[in-house]
Homo-oligomer: A and B are copies of this chain.
Amino acid sequence: MEIHPQLLADCHVLGKTESGVLLLHKNSQVLWLILVPDVLQTDLFAVEGPIRTRIFADCEKIAAIIRQWPGVEKLNFAAIGNVVPQLHLHLVGRHHADPCWPKPVWGNLPESVPYRDEVLEELKTALQTVFVNE
């Protein structure tokens, strides 16, 4: 499947899931995962029932892993897509000391701090039950 160039510019590609492709926002200041379902619809609730069920099953698994990540206190979930029309679902781990708490992350993170390679690998390991073989 094709992924919008803005998402590819902003994110690391982590891997393929049952419903699409899982990305990680390059700004490590919050744990910000983005699921890009393999669908043509741009609105989440316009996706047909069985496919939406598969998308939400992925979200449930990803959300559970985010909540177990050290320091995460709260999960933020959103489908916005005003800038990038391709449907993409934000799953963001938040905590009271993160750089834009309690504001939402969109437009409010002051600067981008890259991930260290070993943290990227730890994240991929933590998320391995979400990925499918290509």
Which A residues contact B (CB, under 8 angstroms)?
A: 42-46, 52, 56, 59-60, 63-64, 67, 74-83, 94, 101-104, 106-108
B76 and A82 form a contact (CB under 8 A): yes
A82 and B103 form a contact (CB under 8 A): yes
Known: A76-B82, A78-B78. A104 touches B102 (CB 8 A): no
Q: A-side binding surface: helix, strand, loop or mixed?
A: mixed
Nearest chain B CB to A24's CB is how many angstroms away?
18
Known: A102-B82, A104-B82. A45 touches B60 (CB 8 A): yes
Residues of B within 8 A of A46 (CB): 63, 67
| Distance in angstroms between the alpha carbons of A118 and B2 in the assembled complex | 45
B80 and A44 form a contact (CB under 8 A): no
Nearest chain B CB to A77's CB is how many angstroms away?
5
Known: A82-B103, A94-B82, A103-B82. A75 touches B108 (CB 8 A): no
| Distance in angstroms between the alpha carbons of A77 and B94 in the assembled complex | 18
Besides A45-B56, A76-B80, 19 other CB < 8 A contacts? A45-B60, A45-B64, A45-B77, A46-B67, A56-B56, A74-B81, A76-B81, A76-B82, A77-B80, A78-B78, A78-B80, A78-B104, A80-B104, A82-B94, A82-B103, A103-B107, A104-B106, A104-B107, A107-B108
